[in-house]
Amino acid sequence: MKLPQIIDLPRFLDARGNLSFVEQNNHIPFEISRTYWIYDVPGGESRGGHAFRQNEEFIIALSGAFDVVVDDGATKQTFTLNRSYYGLYVPAGLWREIVNFSTNSFALEFGSLHYQPDDYIRDYDEFLKLKKYGKI
Interface contacts to ligand TYD, rule CB under 6 A:
34, 36, 47-48, 50, 115
Nearest-approach distance from CB 18 to ligand TYD, in angstroms: 28
Query: Which of residues 19 and 122 has its CB atom nearest to ligand TYD in the complex?
Result: 122
- For the CA atoms of 51, 53, 56, 57, the dihedral, rounded to the nearest 10 degrees, stands at -20
Q: What is the dihedral of CA 71, 74, 79, 85, to 10 degrees?
A: -70
Q: How far is the CB of 27 from ligand TYD (least distance, A)?
A: 21
Rounded to the nearest whole angstrom, what is the least distance from the CB of residue 24 to ligand TYD in the complex? 17
Q: List, in sequence order, every residue forming a beta bridge with 77; answer none if it has no partner.
A: 70
The residue (of 39 and 115) whose beta carbon lies closer to ligand TYD is 115
Between 85 and 99, name the residue whose CB sits nearer to ligand TYD: 99
Q: How far is CA 102 from CA 70, 87, 113, 134, in A?
A: 19, 17, 28, 36
